[in-house]
Structure 1
Amino acid sequence: MRKNIKLTAAAAATAALALGLTACGTASDPGAKSASGDKAAVTEPLVVAASPTPHADILEYVKKNLADKAGLKLEIREFTDYVLPNTATQQGQVDANFFQHKPYLDDFNKKNKTTIVPVVNVHLEPLGLYSKKVKSLKDIKAGQTIAVPNDTTNEGRSLQLLAANGLITLKPGVGTDAKLSDIADKKGLEFKELEAATVPRALNDVDAAVINGNYAIEADLEPAKDSLALEKAQGNPYANFLAVKEGNEKDARVVKLAELLNSPEVKKYIEDTYAGSVIPAFGPAAK
């Protein structure tokens, strides 16, 4: 059983307030320890916010199998939404986070005036279309309802997936930030916008749903086997990465974790554990 701290949105907000009132800091708190990699900083645990699956699972593998040998103390805090990990990183309640891709982060920083930056790419979770009511794409007909994530980047990503598979037609020139209003031809389909984390629970209430890879796995779906349609990995801009508040990229602990997350051991763990539902995507993250 995990010893990580699992935080729902409400619990995380309470924890964030409590942490903000204490004198304890993290690497994002300049008064606590420097980001220059001095001995004191290296001996403090690196606190990383992460989505439960696969992010926290990958970090748990690193913690149990690689971190001690590398001299890294790692603490994992699980969050079940896509907002609090970034706000907690920005405010210094955690040192880093691991849950998101670049289009989402760019949109988040712009809307919230935050300064979170990517450190290193780790993996890709292909977005997929799922259904409990139809067996194939050709069975999706006019009048049926498809649920999609309601955040800007994942909704756009979902609409691109639907368009690529002929279920809708988007207006010319529409990119990854596509909205429902950018659909040129719905082909009689209806759409239900939901928070990404809740989409799997809506599968019984809609005809099909576009679900993020991590939430699909949590819902006991196997993207490589159960999806009606799945994103292609080649040229995909949605690699998930380790991220920190700007200025903390050179924290010795962050550098060490980045190296471990791109190690051959982690590559094998991802390939063996997820069988194509999560794909290694190592390398420098786009700035």
Structure 2
Amino acid sequence: MKQLFTWFLILSTALILTGCDGEAKGETNQTITIGATAGPYSDQLKEGIAPILKEKGIKLNIIEFHDYIQPNNALEEGDIDANLFQNRLYLSNFNEHQGTKLTALFAVPTAPIAMYSKRHQSLDDLEPGMTISLPNDTVNLARSLNMLESYGWLTVDPNVNPITASEKDVIDNPYHLKLNPLEAAATPRSLEDADFAFVNGNYAIASGLKLTEAVDVEQTSEDFLIYLTVREGEEDEPFVQALKEAYESEEFYTYTLEHSQGYVLPPYQQEQEAKK
């Protein structure tokens, strides 16, 4: 009987330890999978956010994408928990045309779209017939055209939605500029042949371009800031709250000041800056 009791005690202890071990693993092995375009936003996650989450026992798994289509498809299909690469207007246009149900949650420090050149130093270098590369996705193409119009280089049809305007909506091109829409990822490489190129911030930085070297930088509105995006209905999930707290933390604000100079700050970091 004594031997039987001893075996029962050993078995009970083993079960308790197994249960405790499983619970501990549940706490320390939480994983959030985020898709991001290679460059500043994946770097923010790796260097700025992952260490903060790690302190809470959460592992951040980052999947890098090289276009603006696959991150949303992967999110819609449930392959990732969130993505980080797009502004609210791009997302709205994507949802409308692709039938997806994705939600923009909060903005992050954003590298603005800018116009670069390897041949010219100033807007004053404009000459007739110059070639200009632009990202070909709907929203960023329109942003680039709006900047060109603000320079007085061309005129876009005022009856067209300024967020969806394309090169086909240019009604006056007095300098006979050659507009060359390309995949956004290809615009940095086009600088070898084009006079000017509009390059999205993430692709500019990933290719080694510096904001301080740009011929002109967009005055970015909140609609064009990059937003963390999730599936509709998951806005209140615990992983979302963990990410939000990490981005709004003092630690990440310090990281931003050190590593993201020239970026447009989201509202919560503007508030942090105002308190300094």
How far apart in 2 are the matches of 1:236 and 1:167?
A: 25
Counterparts of 2:265 and 2:83, CA distance in 1: 18
Deviation (angstroms), 1:141: 1.3
Deviation sequence 1:197-228 (CA, Å, 0-9, x none): 111011111111110011111111111x1111
- Correspondence for 2:226 among 240, 244, 267: 240
Alignment counterpart, residue 213 of structure 2, candidates 216, 226, 232: 226
2:194 to 202, 206, 215: 206
| Percent of residue pairs bearing the same amino acid type | 35
Between 264-273 and 47-56, report the one with greater CA deviation.
Answer: 264-273
1:190: how far off?
A: 0.8
- CA deviations over 1:32-67 (Å, ceiling 9, x no partner): xxxxxxx96995311000112211111112344311
Equivalent AA in structure 1 for residue 217 of structure 2? L
SS at match of 1:125: coil
Q: Which letter maps to 2:181?
A: E
> 2:96 and 2:223 mapped to 1: Cα distance?
18
The residue identity in structure 1 corresponding to 2:164 is: D
Q: Does 1:156 align with 2:142?
A: yes
Instruction: Establish whether residue 186 from structure 1 lines up as the match of residue 177 from structure 2.
Output: no
1:247: Cα distance to partner?
1.4
**Cα distance in 2 for residues equivalent to 1:265 and 1:232:** 27
1:87-166 correspondence runs (5 A): 87-166=73-152
Mean CA deviation greater in 39-48 or 98-107 = 39-48
Structure-2 separation of matches of 1:282 and 1:107: 23
Contact 1:42 1:253 in 2 (8 A): no
Q: Which deviates further from its counterpart, 176-185 or 150-159?
A: 176-185
Report which stretch shifted further, 205-214 or 60-69: 60-69
**1:115-173 Cα deviation digits (max 9, x unpaired):** 11011111222111111111211112111110001110110011111112222222225
Task: Give the C-alpha shift of residue 184 in structure 1.
Answer: 2.4
Instruction: Answer whether contact 1:123 1:282 (CA < 8 A) is retained.
Output: no
Secondary structure of the structure 2 residue equivalent to 1:279 = coil
Q: Which amino acid is the alignment partner of residue 133 of structure 1?
A: R
1:165-191, Cα deviation, whole Å (9 max, x unpaired)? 222222225412111122222221111
Inter-CA distance 138–76: structure 2 relative to 1 (3 Å threshold):
same
User: Hey, what does 1:48 align to over in structure 2?
Assistant: 34
**Greater CA deviation, 160-169 or 243-252?**
160-169
Following TM superposition, by how much is the alpha carbon of 1:95 offset from its aligned partner in structure 2, in angstroms? 0.7
Q: Which amino acid aligns with 1:79?
A: F
Any conservation in 2 of the 1:262–1:282 contact (CA below 8 Å)? no
2:269 paired with 1:281: no
Q: Do the aligned partners of 2:30 and 2:57 also contact (CA within 8 Å) in 1?
A: no
The answer to whether the Cα contact below 8 Å between 1:49 and 1:94 also exists between their aligned partners in 2 is yes
TM-score (norm. length: structure 1): 0.79
| Structure 1 segments (4+ residues) deviating >4 Å | 39-43
Say if 1:98 and 1:240, in contact at 8 Å, map to a contact too.
Answer: yes
Amino acid corresponding to residue 144 of structure 1 in structure 2? M
CA-atom RMSD, angstroms?
2.0
Report the equivalent of 1:78. Answer: 64
Q: Where does structure 1 lack aligned partners over 5 or more consecutive residues?
A: 1-38
In structure 2, the partner of 1:168 is 154
Q: Give structure 2 stretches of 5+ with no counterpart.
A: 1-24, 269-276
Greater share of helix: 2
**Deviation string, structure 1 residues 224-275 (Cα, Å, up to 9, x no partner):** x111111114x44201111111111121012111221122222222222132
